[in-house]
Amino acid sequence: MSLYLVQNQSRTADPTPYESKLAKAIEQVFGDGGHSLEALVDGLNEIGIHSPDGSPWSQDSLTAEMARLEQSVNGGR
Amino acid sequence: MARVYSPGALSAEQIFATGMRDQWHAVCPSDWVERGAIRKLERLGEQWVLYRQSDGRVRMLADRCPHRGAPLSQGMHLGDRIACQYHGVQVGSDGTVLSVPGMPGCNLEGKKLVRSLPVQEVGGAILAWFGTDPDVEPAPLQIPDPLAADDVSAFLCYVEWDAPWRFGLENLLDPMHGAFLHHESHSMFGGAQSARFRIRETDRGFFFEKTDQRGVNFDWVEFNRTGVDWVDLEIPYPSTAGPGGPFGIVGMVTPIDADRSAVFFWRYRRVTGWERDVWRFLYRTTLEDRHWAVLEQDRVMLEHMAHDADQAENLYQHDLGVIRLRRMYKNQAEEQAKALTDA
């Protein structure tokens, strides 16, 4: 019987190009030291990654988008 | 007289090799057993069948029809019971024979002839009580605190390794390997490569921790016995992982058999609100792959160790946690073997 060894258990599909780009930009902002929501919004807007409707991020739009994107499977809570 | 299969009086060596009895063990992720599904699994060196009833409850039976010993896992799910594919014998959730269609009224009907393990679901995993005496109630299961806390978010990572369960658990009681084996990783590149450790007792186990460094690498682990054996540990994230501080791991290792193990890692972080959502988004898109690279370093090391690697060691101060763990399990295996022989 083969052993179970699956790398990605928290998602059912690969990230979309949009998700990958957004994740990379978020890590960049965090890596520069900005860990507050305000710093994250400003940082993403500076990089030029926009919200899905094309407008700059606001705290509300980013919070809402993160709530949408966090959904997961397999033991996530 | 009706016969119920049991593995019999196991020796202390067999118990040490295939896992402690009379405690809860994690068995598999919850979503491995969907509603209406039947799943065959080997755990603690024995064959089991799990199925989820139409009411959502998971059941776990020895995978052996009481009639001719055929695997029930080949059978048919009938909502609350399994019908053996071989001769149609129906076995209920507590192991009672409910119907023998080939011979209605047969004296097997109404008898409890299949071992049935109590199960609970915790943090997206199925846990079962592996009791030696079916008439003894399971001990209470205290859920690992991080999996019950409101301010904690967690993902279960489940893997199976071609290594004995004790290697997996001992690896977790050995924080020092973080600074070496995982030196090239996203989370354990920092800190000193030498340390002094101490054991600190708790009312449910013990801490094994560095005395001279905390919050820099894999610097402490807590071993807990709360009906189930589990460890808690903490490792820092780099700044790129954002707010929320270090991530933790609640770890359990369950023997599949003497040579292979089922590993449960709940990676968790104390985050709420937008910080929780961002961490979960990053976990799914980028962090899970980095955690995986670290876990693979462990797997490759442990799978390549000789199965008798622990027969000629020369241990030093950093191995006190491992020594403590082994002594505890060896003593417990002796006690359980004696109880089984006396029974």
Domain's final residue, options B72, B103, B130: B130
Cβ distance A23 to B282 less than 8 Å, yes or no, reads: yes
Alpha-helical (H) ranges within chain B are: 12-18, 145-148, 165-172, 273-282, 288-304, 320-342
User: For residue A1, what pLDDT band results from cuts at 50, 70 and 90?
Assistant: low
Residue B225 shares a structural domain with residue B273: yes
| Domain extent for B104 | 19-130
Mean of the pLDDT values across residues B313-333? 96
Residue B209 shares a structural domain with residue B110: no
Q: How many CB pairs under 8 A join A and B?
A: 117
Minimum CA–CA partner of A39 in chain B? B242
User: For residue A74, what pLDDT band results from cuts at 50, 70 and 90?
Assistant: very low
Residue B312 shares a structural domain with residue B187: yes
Residue B226 shares a structural domain with residue B299: yes
Name chain A contacts of B292, Cβ cutoff 8 Å. 7-8
Cβ distance B282 to A63 less than 8 Å, yes or no, reads: no
Give yes or no for residue B1 having a pLDDT over 90. Answer: no
| Domains held by chain B: number | 2
Residue B187 shares a structural domain with residue B225: yes
User: For residue A70, what pLDDT band results from cuts at 50, 70 and 90?
Assistant: confident
Cβ distance A74 to B124 less than 8 Å, yes or no, reads: yes
Residue B273 shares a structural domain with residue B318: yes
Task: Chain A: give the shortest CA distance to residue B19, in Å.
Answer: 19
Give yes or no for residue A72 having a pLDDT over 60. Answer: no
Calculated CA dihedral for residues B22, B24, B29, B32, nearest 10 degrees: 40
Give yes or no for residue B336 having a pLDDT over 80. Answer: yes
Name chain B contacts of A77, Cβ cutoff 8 Å. 123-124, 153-154
Residue B119 shares a structural domain with residue B81: yes
Mark out chain B residues that contact chain A at CB-CB < 8 A.
29-31, 42, 123-125, 153-162, 238-243, 260, 266, 273-274, 276-278, 280-286, 288-289, 292, 299
Residue B165 shares a structural domain with residue B311: yes
Does residue B2 belong to any structural domain of this protein? no
Residue B30 shares a structural domain with residue B55: yes
The answer to whether B217 touches B243, Cβ cutoff 8 Å, is no
Cβ distance A77 to B123 less than 8 Å, yes or no, reads: yes
| Segment B94-123, tens digit of pLDDT | 999 999 999 999 999 999 999 999 999 999
Contacts of B86 (CB under 8 A, 6+ apart): B65, B67, B68, B70, B74
Mean of the pLDDT values across residues B228-257? 97
Q: What is the pLDDT of residue A75?
A: 40
Does residue B136 belong to any structural domain of this protein? no
Residue B218 shares a structural domain with residue B318: yes
Mean of the pLDDT values across residues B218-243? 97
Q: What is the pLDDT of residue B8?
A: 80
Q: What is the pLDDT of residue B217?
A: 94
Q: What is the DSSP letter of B225?
A: E
Mean of the pLDDT values across residues B49-76? 97
| Segment A5-18, tens digit of pLDDT | 999 999 888 898 99
pTM: 0.96
Mean of the pLDDT values across residues A29-49? 96
